[in-house]
Amino acid sequence: MKVQTKTIIPPAIVILFLLPPTLVSYIPMGLRFPYYYATIGLCWIISLFFFFKPIFLKKDHSMATFFTLVMIISGSFTFIVKGQLNLFNIIFPIMSLVGYKIILHEKINVKYPMNTLFLFFYILFYVKYYSIIPDFFYRPDFNEDFLVGSSSNAIPITLNTTLHAYMILNYLYKNGAEKSILIISIINLLLNYIQQGRGGILVGTILLFLAMYNYAPNQIRKLKYASIFIGLLIIFQLFIFISSSPIFNGGMTIEDYSVLQESRIIATIQFFQQLTLDNFFFGYTEGTLFVANGELLTYTYNTFLDFWNNYNLLSLFILFYLIIYRFVKRDIFYFPIYFFIPFLIYANIESIYLPSFIDVFIYLILFVKRDSIIQSQ
């Protein structure tokens, strides 16, 4: 029996790239690595159905392959210099490139799989979190051990990054899912407010605005620049309020609050303060600790700094060059530049990209050009 690739792509997107970052929060620590490797193995098996297709055989002009090779070579050099090997630093870039080519193979409809995925997330998070918390808007020092070593911030990260991926796929395939995306963005923002993560609320608000724009662009354009500026100002003020509100800071008053007390800021400052000639180019050795508010961290909450740490400074410069080039030459690329906003915000407050399962969607907005032809079968 011949297997149609069109039937493989939707579940592959969900199982290989969207589910793992969420499910891992509810899997016992001892089973996480087997789950990761099982997912990676499944990716190689699925890729066999596409390997001899034109999308894999023809020359890639998008720099996606180049960037993947940069990370593979940098990860290998890191192993040689530091004497330590993190296989995920090499496997995830390859997996992202494979996913990138599979997604571009042919036009599919992701509306129903993605809507079903969000329904699954809502049920999962209600059972595992929202039905357990003692109060929707006040829970200082609430015990989150049921998340198996993860923070409840994993919830808005999942909702926001998955919605971002849905927007990317819908724009790529022209599935007409704008109404579904708008409804989901409203539900997500409400759940983000209940969870109270500031970054989640900020990104969720921006995603809602983008969903409104994609659903009714003509009406949004009629607002003109003054109204858009006012809207952005409201979002900024909302973020400042959330950052300083005692409601969102465990009883801390506005007078007591300082941004320099944030773990993310402290970890970033310590990253630069501890740089020496030995670790400046290749980054810190694995397991290096940053102390923030009594918490021991092996990462900085910043995707770009951790990318530097996992690969090297040259790789970081190449990444910055590709992003800047993408902005300067935006007219030759397929996705509007506003698709970068959620990524750039999260990249500076969470270390959830590069390398990661969800990098494939960053590949899409970073590398797909206007002249890319996705076949309909």
73-130 pLDDT tens trace = 998 888 788 777 677 888 899 999 999 988 988 888 999 999 999 999 999 999 888 8
- pLDDT tens over the chain, length 377 residues: 455 677 888 888 999 999 998 888 778 778 888 888 899 889 888 888 776 666 666 666 779 999 999 999 998 888 788 777 677 888 899 999 999 988 988 888 999 999 999 999 999 999 888 888 877 765 545 556 655 556 788 899 999 999 999 999 999 999 999 999 999 999 999 999 888 888 888 899 899 989 988 887 766 555 555 456 556 655 654 554 455 444 444 444 434 444 445 677 787 888 888 888 878 888 887 766 666 656 667 778 889 999 998 898 999 999 999 999 999 999 999 999 999 999 999 999 888 999 999 999 999 999 999 877 666 55
- Residue 23 tokens read as 């499910």
Mean pLDDT of the chain: 81
pLDDT computed for residue 257 by the predictor: 42
Residue 34's contacts (CB-CB under 8 Å, 6 or more residues apart) are none
Residue 39: closest CA among 358, 302, 337, 376: 358
pLDDT computed for residue 140 by the predictor: 46
pLDDT computed for residue 293 by the predictor: 59
Helices (H), the chain: 5-12, 20-23, 29-47, 54-57, 64-82, 88-103, 111-125, 154-173, 178-195, 198-215, 217-221, 224-244, 263-273, 303-310, 313-328, 340-349, 359-367
3-22 pLDDT tens trace = 567 788 888 899 999 999 88
pLDDT computed for residue 253 by the predictor: 44
* Cβ neighbours around 106 below 10 Å, total: 18
Strand partners, 369: 333
Distance, in Å, from the CA atom of 231 to the CA atom of 237, rounded to the nearest integer, reads: 10
HSE-up of residue 351 (Cα within 13 Å, Cβ side): 18
CB 51 within 8 A of CB 105: no
| Tokens 């036009």, located at residue | 107
Where residue 256 falls (left for φ over 0; alpha for ψ -120 to 50; beta otherwise) is: alpha
